[in-house]
Amino acid sequence: MVAEDYAWAIESYALSLDFCLTFVRGLEPDEVIARLGGADPVPIVSAEAALGAAQAVQEWVDESGGTHSSELDFVAVTRAGDWAMIIEPNGFLCTDDAVVRSLSTGGEMVSFYYNENTTPQFAWSVGGVTVVAFDPGSPAYRHGIDRSRLDPLLVEVGFGLDNEGQDFDQEFQQRALALMERITGVGWDAAFLQTATFHCAGVAGAGRRVEPWYAEVREELAAYAEDPDEWVDDDFDRWGERGVTDRRVKALGSAGTRLYEEDRELALAIAYAPEELIERMSEWAWERPFRAAGVLDEPWLAPIRERVRRGEVVPPEDVRLVEERLDPYLRTVLPPWLRDDEGQRSNTARGLVVQWDSYGPAADLCWAFARAEGAGGGSWPEMFAALRRDFPELDEIVAPPPPPPPPERDAVRRKREAQEHQEEQGRLADLKRTWGGRIPSNPRLLEPEVSARALGLVPYDRDLIDLVADAEPADQRRMAVWAARYCCTRSGLIARDWAEAGLDALENGDPPPPWFADHDAAFARLFDVPRESITHTGRFSIGDAEPTPRIDPEILAIHTVVMARDADPLIAAMDTVHNAVALDPDSAPVAFRAAFGRP
């Protein structure tokens, strides 16, 4: 093969964007993994699936649920002719001197390391010694015990050995891959990567032992291998958060979660729709913005539409034409913060005709809905209603009952339990801080209606809260009556005949006079205005807390007389005692304890 034969591998990131590819002669895949400090590799078919497994070896979970970095490198190793082929996605372990000695002793090793942010390296080692090594981007500078040994092969694949007048080689990556084939005699293509079985493992490095927790990492890797689509980082498991276990529903993808939230019945129908129907619905969704813009049937769009339907690249000039023809419509339908931005309008139109990565027919349909909505094709509810109308066969699709959830992996369970414990500890700490250092033992104090009133006493007298809460209902009612008279006396409201009459009725257990029937009636009497003229205002602040505003003592007293009649004795007592303490912080707690014989 020549360099051009490997261009596809670089352009498609077949080995990952950044990678280290190594061939070792004289060792089987499992022997390679053992020498690299790994054990018990997991078989995974296809390079794409194998390289995705790298994320499964990054951490381990201890018995208490704590998460730790494994500090392991990931390798995927398969048999290729007489050689073991090692792929490290975003790795460089096989450039380490100790690894080179370990893998090439008694055999031969060829490696090519590439990272877009560092200097690449090509090395050929035999018997534990590096024969030739160089930067394939600057092949004139070679080193090793026999730096010129590979010169004929370098020339054959197109490397320039003279640095004079050499331009930067844009194709050095594929040349390096072709050089590896010239050295090993092993060629590979997309079909090989798709069908090969890779032995995958986390490895600690040459000469390093396997840690006791290594089995935890191996368990995660095995779970990934069993079902890569099912294995997912819990922090990003959007379907798991919704309790969805059906793989066909999950195949709706990340955009499909919105469909599932807004119209679950439709989501299930699409998940089980035949592929032919999904294709027609995808075309329907694509057409909506063009139909709404009034250009769907114009001749210029026909060839573009056909290219999109066939999955072909739309030429740049046609993309610009779409941007141009949709622009007037987008100016009227995009949100105000987008419609005046020419770049945003262009991106929205371009998004309808450029090629996107495919995540499967159902997921692609959900993304088509999203792009159609963004380009003025209607809101999701509007599209769903129209979709049901135009595709009545959706109503005939019946999804089977969802499968039971898979067993929870031990590491996932421990991590979840640890997170739940941490959240609970945080909740309790917040609760303790809110309640002045002591969480109430009386469960009623944690009820929202009660705590909203009780917490106001925390800055004044935390113990007073428990005294009120632990009292019998009859005593709580007496506490409320006491607080009402205390507030009326301290505020001077008691001097008004109508206020004294209201207190007398309260103390005697009689119905309230009309002017104390509720807050509005009482305030109308206080200010001598019609009841209907009473208005209420509120205030709140964002940021630093402002000082608590001073409430007129007479207003506070009236509120106390009304609240003392609340149907719940605890709420009546807590609200009114708080008002008494707020009115007279120094004397009210002492007077309360004296009145009720509390320490």
pLDDT band at 269 (very low <50, low <70, confident <90, very high): very high
pLDDT band at 419 (very low <50, low <70, confident <90, very high): confident
Supply the pLDDT for residue 434: 94
Is residue 112 pLDDT above 90, yes or no?
yes
Q: pLDDT (tens digit, 9 = 90+) per residue, 119-156?
A: 999 999 999 999 999 999 999 999 999 999 999 999 99
250 contacts: CB under 8 Å, gap ≥ 6: 229, 239, 244
What is d(CA 140, CA 419) in angstroms, rounded to the nearest whole number?
55
Is residue 501 pLDDT above 80, yes or no?
yes
pLDDT band at 456 (very low <50, low <70, confident <90, very high): very high
Supply the pLDDT for residue 421: 87
What is d(CA 486, CA 576) in angstroms, rounded to the nearest whole number?
10
What is d(CA 30, CA 75) in angstroms, rounded to the nearest whole number?
11
Greater model confidence, 183 or 238 = 183
Closest to 180 measured CA to CA, from 14, 16, 18, 21:
21
Supply the pLDDT for residue 164: 58
Is residue 236 pLDDT above 70, yes or no?
no
Supply the pLDDT for residue 13: 93
Supply the pLDDT for residue 192: 96
Percent of the chain's residues with pLDDT above 90: 77
Range of weakest confidence among 322-336, 448-462, 534-548? 534-548
Supply the pLDDT for residue 539: 61
The DSSP string of 380-393 is: HHHHHHHHHHH-GG
pLDDT mean over 311-320: 91
Mean pLDDT of the chain: 91
* Contact predicate 109/84, CB 8 Å: no
From the number of C-beta atoms within 10 Å of its C-beta (0-12, 13-18, 19+), residue 463 rates as middle
Q: pLDDT (tens digit, 9 = 90+) per residue, 326-366?
A: 999 999 998 888 888 888 999 999 999 988 878 889 999 99
Closest to 75 measured CA to CA, from 24, 116, 115, 124:
24
Supply the pLDDT for residue 53: 94
Supply the pLDDT for residue 358: 82
Closest to 237 measured CA to CA, from 470, 456, 406:
406
Is residue 560 pLDDT above 90, yes or no?
yes
Is residue 203 pLDDT above 70, yes or no?
yes
pLDDT band at 82 (very low <50, low <70, confident <90, very high): very high
For residue 543, the one-letter residue type is G
pLDDT band at 454 (very low <50, low <70, confident <90, very high): very high
What is d(CA 566, CA 483) in angstroms, rounded to the nearest whole number?
13
Percent of the chain's residues with pLDDT above 70: 95
Is residue 204 pLDDT above 60, yes or no?
yes
pLDDT band at 311 (very low <50, low <70, confident <90, very high): confident
* Contact predicate 245/328, CB 8 Å: no
Supply the pLDDT for residue 375: 93
277 contacts: CB under 8 Å, gap ≥ 6: 391, 393, 394
Is residue 541 pLDDT above 90, yes or no?
no
Q: pLDDT (tens digit, 9 = 90+) per residue, 473-493?
A: 999 999 999 999 999 999 999
C-alpha pair distances (Å), 277 with each of 258, 270, 273 = 20, 9, 6
Closest to 201 measured CA to CA, from 177, 225, 180, 183:
225
Greater model confidence, 84 or 401 = 84
Supply the pLDDT for residue 598: 64
Greater model confidence, 371 or 405 = 371
184 contacts: CB under 8 Å, gap ≥ 6: 23, 25, 80, 81, 83, 110
Main-chain dihedrals φ then ψ at residue 53, nearest 5 degrees: -75, -10
pLDDT mean over 12-39: 96
* Contact predicate 56/220, CB 8 Å: yes
Supply the pLDDT for residue 592: 96
Is residue 538 pLDDT above 70, yes or no?
no
What is d(CA 200, CA 153) in angstroms, rounded to the nearest whole number?
32
Closest to 412 measured CA to CA, from 231, 226, 229:
231
